[in-house]
Amino acid sequence: MERESVCVLGGGSTKYGKLDDSISDITLQASVGAIESAGIEPKEIEAGYISNVFGVADKQVHLGPVVMSNLGISECPSLSIESACGSGSVSFREAFANVAAGFYDAVLVTGTEKVTHTGTDWTTTYFSYCSDFFYEGQAGASFPGLFASMARAYLHEFDATEEDLASVAVKNHENGVLNPKAHLRKKISIDDVMDSAVVASPLKLYDCCPFSDGASSVILCNEKFAKEHSKDYVKVIGSGRGGSPAALQGREQLTTIPSTRIAAEAAYKMAGITAKDVDFAEVHDCFTVAEVVDSEDLGFFEKGTGATAARNGDTKLNGSISINPSGGLKSKGHPIGATGVGQVVEAFEQLTGKSGERTVNDAKIGLTQNFGATGASCAVHIFQSV
Amino acid sequence: MQFTYSKVCKLSAKPEFIDAAKSGNILARKCAKCGEILLATVYYCKSCGSKEFGDTILKGAGKVVTYTIMTVPPAGFEDLAPYAWVVMELDDSAIRVSGFLAKISTPEDLPIGTPVKVTGFDERGIVLEKL
């Protein structure tokens, strides 16, 4: 089938962190940011894709019609997509598929989340509903607990230490300091991570991304539409999705995430490139161990060597592969419905010269990887500058 | 291990799975077509797609594959921390199950490979104990 060439024309984000505005307000703010960045009129948008998980916690679900009405385009069709922490990338993929198929010339993709007002106890509990609850959440496993179980398996199987995992957090905070929209903008040391309170052993507080509020938005369109509106657009050259057993107990190995490998293989194939061609990657580092596993599953490092690569600084800004130049979920923050779209905003800004001090030098190709829960679902996208 | 090959299995066998766990066992199914052994909470075989299974009761004894010690627990577990959430592999098959294990506070209490067994099922899900 002949596909339309799909482009990201503009991107906008609220700051990530503890926000006072309501979920419908931050959803609107990010959407307006994307529309103005793209230089289009709202009436040119033909459909809206909203990703969100816990709108119910801020008394607003069915967010699409609310944001469309506030944009003055109440007749524009919209929908909401929930796929746990991977909602944003899945929503982006559905929008991509529809533009690629020629159904729409231009669509709005906005991810949004507002949870911090519920407090750590309830947020931890709500998030546990994203697990295979019968076997995991119900038995007292939180998300830090599930990833801690993967971390223990990784440290047992490979030549890696808790300090190696800590180096991922230190690196992502270094990058986040350079990102004005990041939630946690402070430098930290390996000792800070090692001395922080144990949340779920072997993971400590600073191995974990924060609970964040925030919204991110992009305009996705075909290339003809993009060319008519701006010079600042990037092409989506690869898109892939994958699945894994929902519960960790269903996986033969606990040091790899099958959905990432499946999604990456499909995205690389569509793009006609390999991992070696990627200049930077925004990956799903909800916990330090996750970034290490992601960096291997995406093909940047051999299995079992991702922790060593992190320790050696290979993944730093302008290292051999810049991983999470935005600061990642760890420092930039993790508003779960927004995260996958926020990664795309970062790729757009990196490839159009809008990323300031955190710019990856001479970057032509960027990759985003965002998964739901412990990687039960995943989407990978690849972007190229024009 | 005894297999009763039945027509088509029950759509949701969670009540039966829970009853088995309360007796220290794991309710599993063996695929009548390809022989794959699966937990009773699935309906189609992941290997061949068949839904013809024989029920079987597996002994809930096995070894720790990995675990965490929860110190910041979700709601309902506040008074139980620290405790372990454990992935174990059964001795009788390659089947893995996960559950709650009380009163674990340091990794020295539970090295990987420690023998554990299923002892019950309640509001904490599958309950495990060290053998």
Rg (CA), chain B: 16
Residue B5 has pLDDT above 60, yes or no: no
Tens digits of residue pLDDT in B25-67: 999 999 999 999 999 988 899 999 998 998 889 999 999 999 9
- CA gap B103, B80 in Å, rounded: 8
| Minimal Cβ distance to A249: which of B78, B87, B112 | B87
Q: What is the ipTM of this complex?
A: 0.94
Other C-beta atoms closer than 10 Å to the C-beta of A379 total: 31
Pairing of strands B61-70, A198-201: antiparallel
Tens digits of residue pLDDT in A262-299: 999 999 999 999 999 999 999 999 999 999 999 999 99
A200 and B124 in contact by Cβ < 8 A?
no
Tens digits of residue pLDDT in A324-343: 999 999 999 999 999 999 99
Give the per-residue pLDDT at A2: 81
Give the per-residue pLDDT at B10: 74
Give the per-residue pLDDT at B41: 87
Q: Which residue has the higher pLDDT, A2 or A118?
A: A118
Give the per-residue pLDDT at B4: 57
Residue B1 has pLDDT above 60, yes or no: no
Tens digits of residue pLDDT in A113-122: 999 999 988 8
| Minimal Cβ distance to A140: which of B41, B83, B107 | B83
B125 and A152 in contact by Cβ < 8 A?
no
Residues of B in contact with A142 (CB under 8 A): 70, 72-74
Residue B2 has pLDDT above 70, yes or no: no
Predicted structure pTM score:
0.97
Question: In which residue are the tokens 């606990």 written?
Answer: A254
Q: In sequence order, which residues have a C-beta less than 8 Å from that of residue A187 and are 6 or more positions away?
A: A170, A173, A174, A177
Residue A239 has pLDDT above 80, yes or no: yes
Give the per-residue pLDDT at A88: 98
By C-alpha distance, the chain B residue nearest A156 is B112
Other C-beta atoms closer than 10 Å to the C-beta of A11 total: 27
Give the per-residue pLDDT at A70: 98
Residue A303 has pLDDT above 80, yes or no: yes
Angle at A119 between CA A114 and CA A124, to 5 degrees: 85
Give the per-residue pLDDT at B118: 98
A124 and B107 in contact by Cβ < 8 A?
no
Residue B6 has pLDDT above 90, yes or no: no
| Minimal Cβ distance to B97: which of A142, A249, A254 | A249
Average pLDDT rounded to a whole number, residues A331-358:
98
A139 and B41 in contact by Cβ < 8 A?
no
A248 and B87 in contact by Cβ < 8 A?
yes
Annotation says A334 is catalytic: yes
pLDDT-based confidence at residue A1 (cuts at 50, 70, 90): low
Sign of CA dihedral A172, A176, A181, A183: positive
**Active-site choice (A7, A85, A221, A378):** A85
Tens digits of residue pLDDT in A220-236: 999 999 999 999 999 99
Residues of A in contact with B83 (CB under 8 A): 140
Of A9-23, A307-321, B11-25, the least confident: B11-25
Tens digits of residue pLDDT in A25-64: 999 999 999 999 999 999 999 999 999 999 999 999 999 9
Pairing of strands A280-282, A365-372: parallel
Other C-beta atoms closer than 10 Å to the C-beta of B46 total: 12
A139 and B99 in contact by Cβ < 8 A?
yes
Give the fold, CATH level 3, of A6-118+211-229.
Answer: Peroxisomal Thiolase; Chain A, domain 1 (3.40.47)
Report the residue of B98, B100, B103 to disrupt the A interface, i.e. the one with the largest count of A CBs within 10 Å. Answer: B98
